[in-house]
Structure 1
Amino acid sequence: MAQSPRGAKLHAVTDTSGRPVRLFITAGQVSDYTGAAARMNGLPEAERLLVDRRYDADWFRETLVDRGTTPCIPGRKSRKKTVKYDKPRYKRRNRIERMFGRLKDWRRVATCYDRSPTVFLAAIALAATVIFWL
């Protein structure tokens, strides 16, 4: 997830190669859990899902397991009960961070030049399309 200076948050799903597959924008003040719940039905079928710790919620994990997807989400630091996850596999999440870095190579995306979230998402989608095929 990346955050623009105007406050919009970009939620992204990538494939195993780190290419963007799904993009979703929420307002900056909206909880990450709300963004996760909104995208739950739009997630592609996968054996495993590597997710940032800001999406650590029991309901999110349970929903993934019900769908047949193994969650790999580290627990928040404030979580009282520790959660087990596959640490070596979680280290592969850097592919997602590299995808965000490639998106930010596009000046219009990096500087959040657009004031409208719709136009901003369109610029991100254009950049993601080029990144996907390169």
Structure 2
Amino acid sequence: MVSDELWSLVEPLLPEPGPKLVEGRPRVPDRQALCGTLFVLHTGIQWEYLPQELGFGSGMTCWRRLTAWNEAGVWDELHMVLLQRLRAAKKLDWSRAVIDSSHVRGPLGAAQKRGPSPVDRARPGSKHHVLTDGRGIPLAVSLTGGNRNDVTQLLPLLDKVPAVAGVVGRPRHRPDALLADRGYDHDKYRRLLRQRGIRPVIAERGVEHGSGLGVFRYVVERTIAWLHGFRRLRIRWERRDDIHEAFLGIAACLITHRHVQRLC
């Protein structure tokens, strides 16, 4: 599940393991723990049922390793490396960015980024917010409660886009235009986008459907579908926000990596 090419990108970013304090079993190699984590992400299996006969190590081992790697910012760094490769190959479309969100159910316990969903009979859930370039390559993802308004995440998502180098000149992190549906229709945010040098192209409420933005906006909907192709992201089972955010970050990296592989 972890190719040699992908592992060569991930391995240098992993933090050095601390000294072993007690004698016991040898430490599970990081690559095997990453394979176990990706197995959970792809299949949606519970950690305790992770098949150890496949060489992954225990579910708790993989969970601890995922927590440590997420705290070290491994997935943000990996995403940056992948975006730099795409920009160097001139495969990032900065002429426009597209933003959207999707609800996921979250039936377990209370968490900060979980709330009653207005589109699912007020059942508890979360939202995945996604910002892509013009080709649908993920630039930033985030997690909020299911009751958060989409427009509140517009600026935070833009702020999460890393400054991507890869070519001569300044690193770039700002698209020329931002496309969004009616959920982001607000004059205040249009003004704030213009202040950042970004042209807002946002569908307006109260007008007939057929704005023509669907021709360009489908790429973010496709990317969200790719994210939810990872079964662990279809329903939020994690009580801890950071663990679900780690899965979301890994999935964004894997989708970006697919685009990098097309260059080979």
TM-score under structure 1 length normalisation: 0.83
- Residue 5 of structure 1 is matched in structure 2 by 105
Q: Does 1:71 align with 2:200?
A: yes
Q: Give the deviation of 1:128 after TM superposition.
A: 0.9
Return 122-131 or 43-52, whichever deviates more: 43-52
SS in 1 for 2:135: coil
Give 1:3's aligned amino acid.
H
Q: Does 1:52 align with 2:152?
A: no
- Please tell me the root mean square deviation across aligned C-alpha atoms, in Å: 1.9
Aligned residue-pair number:
126
Distance (whole Å) between structure 2 residues aligned to residue 103 and residue 41 of structure 1: 21
- Structure 2 gaps of 5+ residues are 1-100, 107-124, 162-172, 259-264
TM-score under structure 2 length normalisation: 0.44
Q: Residues 10, 64 of structure 1: CA spacing in aligned structure 2 closer, same or farther, 3 A cutoff?
A: same
Once the two structures are aligned, what percentage of the paired residues are identical?
A: 29
Distance (whole Å) between structure 2 residues aligned to residue 25 and residue 99 of structure 1: 15
| Kept after mapping to 2: 8 A contact 1:47/1:69 | yes
Return 111-120 or 9-18, whichever deviates more: 111-120
Distance (whole Å) between structure 2 residues aligned to residue 121 and residue 17 of structure 1: 23
Q: Give the deviation of 1:89 after TM superposition.
A: 4.9
Q: Residues 31, 89 of structure 1: CA spacing in aligned structure 2 closer, same or farther, 3 A cutoff?
A: closer
Q: Which of the residues 5, 9, 30 maps onto 2:148?
A: 30
Any residues of structure 2 matched to 1:1-134 within 5 Å, and which? 1-6=101-106, 7-42=125-160, 44-77=173-206, 87-134=211-258
- Residue 4 of structure 2 is matched in structure 1 by none
- Residue 16 of structure 2 is matched in structure 1 by none
Distance (whole Å) between structure 1 residues aligned to residue 157 and residue 251 of structure 2: 21
Distance (whole Å) between structure 1 residues aligned to residue 133 and residue 145 of structure 2: 25
- Structure 1 gaps of 5+ residues are none
Q: Give the deviation of 1:42 after TM superposition.
A: 3.7
Q: Give the deviation of 1:29 after TM superposition.
A: 2.1
SS in 1 for 2:105: coil
| Kept after mapping to 1: 8 A contact 2:141/2:157 | no
SS in 1 for 2:238: coil
Distance (whole Å) between structure 1 residues aligned to residue 252 and residue 158 of structure 2: 21
